[in-house]
Amino acid sequence: MKETPLSNCERRFLLRAIEEKKRLDGRQTYDYRNIRISFGTDYGCCIVELGKTRVLGQVSCELVSPKLNRATEGILFFNLELSQMAAPAFEPGRQSDLLVKLNRLLERCLRNSKCIDTESLCVVAGEKVWQIRVDLHLLNHDGNIIDAASIAAIVALCHFRRPDVSVQGDEVTLYTPEERDPVPLSIHHMPICVSFAFFQQGTYLLVDPNEREERVMDGLLVIAMNKHREICTIQSSGGIMLLKDQVLRCSKIAGVKVAEITELILKALENDQKVRKEGGKFGFAESIANQRITAFKMEKAPIDTSDVEEKAEEIIAEAEPPSEVVSTPVLWTPGTAQIGEGVENSWGDLEDSEKEDDEGGGDEAIILDSIKMDTGVEVSDIGSQDAPIILSDSEEEEMIILEPDKNPKKIRTQTTSAKQEKAPSKKPVKRRKKKRAAN
């Protein structure tokens, strides 16, 4: 679906409000929306909500052979998908620009910053390493996808547990989760992206733009930082020209925000770990609020299946027996069998010379008569390319009234003989060819 265009009055309204330091949802210039992190039952699964923007993250691992030039390092793979439910404009073919930009930014933020220790992912140098795959799905687009995605990625990575492996000499043992508790990944630091939207050629700036604000912004500055105030990635897009002190100011703001967000993440991870250890209830079912009017829960419901057998027998007793199976397979040669006869070959005189039997396994669709005629005529058009006279003939022939139960009425006198009979398309075509040969 095409994206609904933003009306001029809405654009002007937003820009005027920003000039007066007002945001539509009542936030201040440097305020973030509410961040909510919920975890699933399996390790490495989380949903992050940044206001109404929602991202699902899942981490999975697999043992693979390492890359040839990095024999002792594990492999990291990031994939952000803009699901079609996130926005009506996100169709499979249409979002490549945005998708590439987001994926690249995410990769730079997480891979190049070396936040995950890839050396620890090595099992047998040169032979087996862990491949960690992070899949992010955008579920709802209400602005600032990159922030939500980076938070989801780092939370999922911190939450994930990989199976334990032990190496004793030549023997490698991979333990299942039942045998040995899975092991967390070794993460050095947590880079988080903070987005700044600029308006009116860099005069006004907003942190964490929502979808409307993103539509009217001039440019975007994304700074990925960790809580130690180290910048992992910085990217400015949109062609705005920023002054040095503007960029420095943004990095200071980012430092403050990242510290807050990191604290929130650590608290959420701690809560989840506590609940799991104490044997409490966890998972997405628990994060659905009890008192919300749009949510509803039902406990385990026992089903009475005692009368199932009687009912089944009743139905079978009343049912008619199945009809006799008609077709039996015909074995042509060892390895080639045929069931059913199929429809007679309806191609025109092109296939005349190549005497084709019914194709093996002849469950062809039943071809309507009219389509048969159609293909017959088209083939004859292709065949009649020798003399100009014939070309004009075929042009006339194109004006054919196709009726499903009768042969097409040929306008020219040459083929009027074909009109009356209810013959398959082959015959009239054949006759025409004979006439040409006579010419």
Partner 1 sequence: MEEEMHTDAKIRAEIGTGCSPRGPGCSLRHFACEQNLLSRPDGSASFLQGDTSVLAGVYGPAEVKVSKEIFNKATLEVILRPKIGLPGVAEKSRERLIRNTCEAVVLGTLHPRTSITVVLQVVSDAGSLLACCLNAACMALVDAGVPMRALFCGVTCALDSDGTLVLDPTSKQEKVSTWLWKGRGLEAKGPESPQWDWLQEARAVLTFALDSVERKLLMSSTKGLYSDSELQQCLAAAQAASQHVFRFYRESLQR
Contacts to partner 1 from residues 267-326, by CB under 8 A: 276-277, 279-286, 288, 292-309, 311-313, 315-316
Q: Which of 11, 36, 71, 83 binds partner 1 (CB under 8 A)?
A: 83
Minimum CB distance to partner 1 smaller for 198 or for 282: 282
Write down how long the chain is.
Answer: 439
DSSP element (H, E) containing 379: helix 369-383
Instruction: Choose among 250, 146, 263: nearest CA to 207.
Output: 250
Instruction: Return all residues near 289 (Cβ < 8 A) that are at least 6 apart.
Output: 295
81 near partner 1, judged by CB under 8 A:
yes
SS3 435: helix
Minimum CB distance to partner 1 smaller for 177 or for 329: 177
Neighbours of 3 (CB within 10 A): 11
Please, what is the minimum distance in Å from the beta carbon of residue 32 to partner 1? 18
Kindly state the number of chain residues that form the binding site for partner 1, as judged by CB under 8 A. Answer: 74
The piece of 7-15, 20-28, 59-67, 429-437 that touches partner 1 (CB under 8 A) is: 59-67
SS3 53: strand
Please, what is the minimum distance in Å from the beta carbon of residue 97 to partner 1? 19
DSSP element (H, E) containing 273: helix 244-278
CA–centroid distance for 30 within its chain: 34
Q: Which residues, numbered 211-250, are part of the site for partner 1 (CB under 8 A)?
A: none
Spatial contact of 358 and 330, defined as CB atoms under 8 Å apart? no
Minimum CB distance to partner 1 smaller for 244 or for 300: 300
Instruction: Return all residues near 325 (Cβ < 8 A) that are at least 6 apart.
Output: none
Q: Which of 9, 69, 93, 178 binds partner 1 (CB under 8 A)?
A: 178
Q: Which residues, numbered 124-153, are part of the site for partner 1 (CB under 8 A)?
A: 128, 133, 135, 137, 139-142
Instruction: Choose among 82, 86, 80, 142: nearest CA to 110.
Output: 80
- Provide φ and ψ at 69, rounded to 5°: -90, 0
Q: Which residues, numbered 372-431, are part of the site for partner 1 (CB under 8 A)?
A: none
Please, what is the minimum distance in Å from the beta carbon of residue 94 to partner 1? 12
CA–CA distance, 381 with 150 (Å, rounded to integer): 61
120: which DSSP letter?
A: G
Please, what is the minimum distance in Å from the beta carbon of residue 180 to partner 1? 12
Please, what is the minimum distance in Å from the beta carbon of residue 166 to partner 1? 10
52 near partner 1, judged by CB under 8 A:
yes
Please, what is the minimum distance in Å from the beta carbon of residue 387 to partner 1? 39
155 near partner 1, judged by CB under 8 A:
no
Please, what is the minimum distance in Å from the beta carbon of residue 279 to partner 1? 5
